[in-house]
Amino acid sequence: MTSPRFPSASRAVPPATSVLLDGALTDVPAGVSIAAALALAGRRALRTSRPSGEPRAVFCGMGSCHECLVTVDGIRGVRACITPVAPGMRIDTQVKELSDEHR
Amino acid sequence: MSIARSEWAGDVLVVGAGPAGLAVAAELAGQGLSVLLADENQRPGGQIGRQRFLRSSQAGPDAAGHHDPMLHPGITYRPGTVCHGFRDGQQAFLTTPAGPMITRTRAVVLATGAAERVIPVPGWTLPGVMTVGAAQAFLKGSGLFPYRRVVVAGTGPLLLAAASQLVSAGVQVVRVVEAACPGLSRWRDAARLVAGAPLLAQGAGHLLSLARAGVFPRTGVGVQEIVGEDQVRGARLRRLRRDWSFADAPPELVECDAVLLSHGFSSVTDLASQLGADIEWDQQRQSWRPVRDQGLRTTAANVWAVGDCAGVGGAQLAELEGRLAGLLIAADLTGRPVRERRVRVLRRRIARLEVFRRGMDMLFAPGTGISGWHDGSTQVCRCQESTRADIDRALDDGVEDLHGLKLWTRAGMGPCQGRVCGPVLTAILASRGCDVSQLAPPRARFPVRPLSVAAVCDAAESCPPSTRKGMP
């Protein structure tokens, strides 16, 4: 398992901000979308489909398809792709809930 | 947490702050009208101007030259704001980051843009499969792309642009495959229309930078299947015939961890439809769009539609339409005479761009073979997981339009409200001999975007009784 390293278009390192990602304190670049922050944290699937429970991730990236829904500060159905991270934000994905249930 | 509802009353509500919405808002405000400009994104500019959410002095070299457009003081700009629908052409229900908002305006301009069209293939719901635009959003919004080995597939000039952006971001682009392979005669017809356009030079530039990275795009090739268990492991690419059906040649399996797909764009017509405006099928663009008169006015009272949401034509055309509509609406609302000279100039420039558009649509129009791209178990509707077999069964049982398919198979009933599967369902109906121009258009109802019950309650609690009766 390699640690996630990403090709980057801009060389400058943006300021970081801390969010609570599925309960874990995580540093992410300030001002990026929740989707980008989750990707940077190495996360791919954000939710599972209904009824079959397939993993799903960002698809349209512009708020149209609703595949990237996450729970933010307790509010469900937030589109990760068009919502920016904010300091101290609590982001919960459905994927974690599911894997916990399966354990 | 109880959030009070807010109200906004003024001259014009503009929905969407892309090139069309910005232009119409600027024109209206410049003529002294009050404008509310509502947009789902955090920054103005639409998808084409998409960039990092926060203005940051440390954003580095890519920050140079990227500035939010200066908004006229007569514009009230509301980012992060969703328009869920209208009671009529004068009253709208929105949710802002601060809570629900009800607007009352003399006119409404829809500038909601377009959604990328993707033709489903087996495996297209796997994490790692996304639209080409989504990859660009990652790059533009955060300077990162979370995958390493990428296949870019579909049709249109966007493929080359995105592939070269990915290459310069350090992503390994393993294949770029364009489905279209226009014959000589079609090239000849199209070349007359697109000749001299600056986009051609741009395309050549992208090809060159891809070639430098050792990437040589192929035409007449499509994705037959995307393989992987819970994420993308590879893609099976296969030659296409002229009509985009798969040729007999054996497929090539390419290892990758992401597949970017794009098969053109469809106008987002949900708000126009919810408002009761007539929607028609645009054969050239293979998309639904609101019917408009010469003045870009829809058939719904007090409602105009500009830019890609009324027929995809790109940012430049969208901006010109926005300016034209702004001039005409301002004259309408103020009673001042129309500035005929400016209108004539704008109409001439719009006509030129439309000629170019015809050429592009001719080159990249999806072939009829796309109806064979999905197998029975391929999900056509990602939200409700309705498969191609479900759709076929419904059609065999006598369903004959989009509304019937929605009721029988739930396709189009999920949170995306058919924005993803609508174009595909229309193509399947067409492939079964249905005359799409005679089809009842997709109907959107309030709320066109998911709305929490809490938001409705917040709005209702603080509503005066007369409004409460009327608002959905």
pLDDT digits (tens, 9 = 90+) for B210-258: 999 999 999 999 999 999 999 999 999 999 999 999 999 999 999 999 9
Helices within chain A (DSSP H only): 34-40, 94-102
Q: Do B419 and A59 touch (CB under 8 A)?
A: no
Helices within B78-236 (DSSP H only): 132-142, 158-168, 184-194, 198-212
Count of CA atoms in the C-beta half-sphere (13 A) of B413? 13
The answer to whether the CB of A14 falls within 8 A of the CB of B56 is yes
Q: Do B56 and A14 touch (CB under 8 A)?
A: yes
Nearest CB partner across the interface for B40, out of A32, A67, A82: A82
Tokens of B337: 């005479």
Nearest CA in chain A to B140: A9
Pick from B38-52, B156-170, B257-271: least confident: B38-52
Q: How far is CA B361 from CA B117, B157, B172, in A?
A: 14, 11, 30
- Say if residue B102's pLDDT is above 50: yes
Residue in this structure with the two tokens 């980012």, named with its chain if needed:
B79
Amino acid (1-letter code) at residue A71: T
List all residues 6 or more positions away from B89 whose beta carbon is below 8 Å from its beta carbon. B107, B108, B275, B300, B301, B302, B303
Residue B238 Cα to chain centre, angstroms: 27
**d(C-alpha B85, C-alpha B108), whole Å:** 11
pLDDT tens profile B369-423:
999 999 999 999 999 999 999 999 999 999 999 999 999 999 999 999 999 999 9
- Say if residue B198's pLDDT is above 80: no
Nearest CB partner across the interface for B53, out of A31, A40, A57: A31
Q: Is the dihedral of CA B216, B217, B221, B224 positive or negative?
A: positive
**d(C-alpha B288, C-alpha B285), whole Å:** 8
Nearest CA in chain A to B417: A65
Average of per-residue pLDDT values in chain B? 90
Predicted complex ipTM: 0.91
The answer to whether the CB of B37 falls within 8 A of the CB of B76 is yes
**Crossing angle, helix B402-409 and helix B388-396, to 10 degrees?**
110
List residues bridging with B266 in a β-sheet.
B115
| Edge-to-edge order in the sheet of strand B149-154 | B129-131, B258-262, B149-154, B172-178, B218-219
Mean pLDDT score, B9-27:
97
Amino acid (1-letter code) at residue B172: Q
Mean pLDDT score, B34-56:
80
CB atoms within 10 A of CB B276: 16
Q: Do B61 and A11 touch (CB under 8 A)?
A: yes
CA distance B395 to chain A (A): 23
Confidence of residue B114 (pLDDT cuts 50, 70, 90): very high
CA dihedral of residues B202, B208, B214, B218 (deg, nearest 10): 60
- Say if residue B461's pLDDT is above 90: no
Pick from A11-15, A68-72, B257-261: least confident: A11-15
pLDDT value of residue A102: 41
pLDDT tens profile B303-348:
999 999 999 999 999 999 999 999 999 999 999 999 999 999 999 9
The answer to whether the CB of B444 falls within 8 A of the CB of B271 is yes
Nearest CB partner across the interface for B382, out of A36, A51, A65: A65
Please list every residue in chain A whose beta carbon sits closer than 8 Å to the beta carbon of residue B116: 60, 62, 64
**d(C-alpha B178, C-alpha B157), whole Å:** 9
Pick from A63-72, B226-235, B356-365: least confident: B356-365
Q: Do B52 and A32 touch (CB under 8 A)?
A: yes
pLDDT value of residue B3: 59
Q: Choose the mutation target among A82, A89, A95 for the interface with B, i.e. most B CBs under 10 Å.
A: A82
Confidence of residue B160 (pLDDT cuts 50, 70, 90): very high
Residue A67 Cα to chain centre, angstroms: 12
Nearest CA in chain B to A50: B384
> DSSP letter at B398?
T
> DSSP letter at B64?
T
> Which backbone phi and psi does A38 adopt, to 5 degrees?
-65, -40
Please list every residue in chain B whose beta carbon sits closer than 8 Å to the beta carbon of residue A10: 59-63, 143
List residues bridging with A72 in a β-sheet.
A75, A91
What's the whole-model pTM score? Answer: 0.91
Q: Do B420 and A63 touch (CB under 8 A)?
A: no
List all residues 6 or more positions away from B140 whose beta carbon is below 8 Å from its beta carbon. B50, B51, B52
pLDDT value of residue A96: 55
**d(C-alpha A59, C-alpha A57), whole Å:** 6
> DSSP letter at B74?
T
Q: Choose the mutation target among A58, A85, A95 for the interface with B, i.e. most B CBs under 10 Å.
A: A58
